A and B are shown apart, each in its own frame.
Chain A
Amino acid sequence: MTQLALVIDLNVCVGCQACVTSCKEWNTSGSAGPMVDQNPYGADPTGTFFNRVQTFEVGEFPNTETVHFPKSCLHCEDPPCVPVCPTGASYKRKEDGIVLVDYDKCIGCKYCSWACPYGARELDEQQQVMKKCTLCVDRIYDMTMDADDRKPSCVKACPTSARLFGDIHDPQSAVSIAIREGGGYALMPEWGTHPANHYLPRRKTRITIHEDELERADNPLKVDRQLPRPAMSEPTLDDVTTW
């Protein structure tokens, strides 16, 4: 069984919105029809997006951290939006686990959006059907593209490689290793939806240095206690001779 998914590294995301615009650009040009905007140049612009980058501030000044948080459909392994669909327009593909909407069957009742705790689905105001991230299903299998290009367009666009794409059911895939070794986690695990997309946490690089590591215990000037114990600021033998 294959389960394609994105792994998003919050440690690397800089919130540049490149994934947002490249997603919109690719998916609005596809055969499924445009992702239409209303009032794009007006005071209150709105439109359909599959992917957004949000920003959160964690902590209290001055100990704060800014976290940029890309958000799109998580392609749950147990998607709550699928069984509630009355027409079968929402479905999860057996072959690769992508959750898709058949725009020709969707009646625009919005019920699936109520059943998604993540708010991943949006009704297209012009086409009046439910839309969401497709993991660029029209890209990743396109054999006319170079193998390197057969990735979701958000992944291709990310300048910091914060987005990884692959099969999380293959234990040797880059995404599985990233989740396993980088502490990958799922959003709102309390609902049992088992999101396929995972997030990698913010990480700090720290070295622990103990007191005795600052002072050479085997310094020959000190070991036999023949000479007065030099002060910490004094040069050690290492500093004055090449032996």
Chain B
Amino acid sequence: MHPAFSVIFLTTLIGAAQGLFLALFTAQSYAAFKLLPQPDAHAFYGQGSLLALLLLVAGLVASFFHLGHPERAWRTATKWRTSWLSREVIVLPAFMGVVFLYGLAHWLDWHPVLMTLPGGLPVDPSAILGVAGTLLAFALFVCTAMIYACLKFLAEWHSPLTVVNYILLGGASGFTLAAAFAAATAPELVGFLAGWAAIITVLGLLSRGASLVRNARLKPKSTLQTAIGIKHPKIAQKTQGFMGGSFNTREFFHGQPVAVLRGVKWFFLLAVFPLPLLLLLSGMQGGIGLLVAAFVVQYAGLLAERWYFFAQANHPQNLYYQSIA
């Protein structure tokens, strides 16, 4: 497939935003149970939510560049019964709304006790919004990943590993960002967040590695024989019917030599996993520069990871476009 930068930015930006929100609410939950010190709610939860919201808006803006008719985007909410893309379009603004309200509740110090849990733990609106946001964040990960994983023709994507990768890689970048953000606003949480960022990064390496191994062993289901229905081991295309390009040759081929693909793969394998891990572990004591570098390196790596994700997918329609003349 031809990697589209609009979609690469959409999926990586909202992934980081979802991970960041999950990190914020994880920290709040731990703090509620007195497992972590209480940070400055204004700065950490309030501004942190604003940062997540900005990433989500940036992702949404990027997604519009993928559309031929962005002014009709509102129509995409109609087919949620069958289309994962439609579901994503519904869940994304819902998640943005909850992140906004969650940040607002912390920003305005709006903490009326709505009810008390059996252990005597007070529940305020931010806790309820946090739970709702957590559910929506995971729903959004599933929707985004299922857009790709549900396409059975694209064997490289058609796997539960796609969903696991989107959750873990988005989570890793979000927790890394949260650690860097905490270094500036809530230093007491840096160790906790950086630790979790490192753990999720390692899990992400396992699942992404598993999908790379899986994809390397794939055997295409369709062949030239089934594509044109002629049973002969030797079939060669002589012409695809035109000499200039067409949508079929532009949209489904990445057009890069194998060396570029391999280079991008090794770059993201380094930039998404070991380098941020090193930076996270060395920045655990609160080195803001190291933690910011960890996020920047990991995010750059994720851009390459997403590019590779698209480029590696081999569409069966390509069988019909092997030779110009």
Contacts and interface: CB of A to CB of B under 8 A. Distances in A.
B150 interface: yes
Interface stretch (A113-121, A151-159, A174-182, A221-229): A113-121
Given A117-B222, A119-B248, A86 B236 contact: no
Interface string B136-153: 000000000001001111
Contacts of A145: none
29 contacts: A20-B241, A44-B245, A45-B243, A45-B244, A54-B237, A54-B320, A56-B236, A56-B238, A57-B235, A58-B235, A67-B228, A69-B228, A86-B75, A86-B78, A105-B72, A106-B68, A106-B69, A109-B66, A109-B76, A113-B251, A114-B154, A115-B153, A128-B68, A186-B229, A188-B316, A190-B221, A191-B152, A191-B153, A191-B316
Given A83-B83, A114-B1, A188-B226, A57 B236 contact: yes
A88 B75 CA distance: 8
A228 to B, nearest CB: 51
B81 to A, nearest CB: 9
Interface residues of B, number: 57
* Size bracket, chain A contacts: 35 or more
Interface of B: 1, 66-70, 72-73, 75-79, 82-86, 89, 147, 150-154, 221-222, 224, 226-230, 232, 234-248, 251-252, 315-318, 320-321
B252 A119 contact: yes
A129 interface: yes
A122 B248 contact: yes
A122 B75 contact: no
Nearest to B232: A58
B245 A88 contact: no
Given A107-B75, A115-B153, A86 B86 contact: yes
B242 A187 contact: no
A46 B324 CA distance: 13
B215 to A, nearest CB: 17
Interface string A36-55: 00010000111111001111
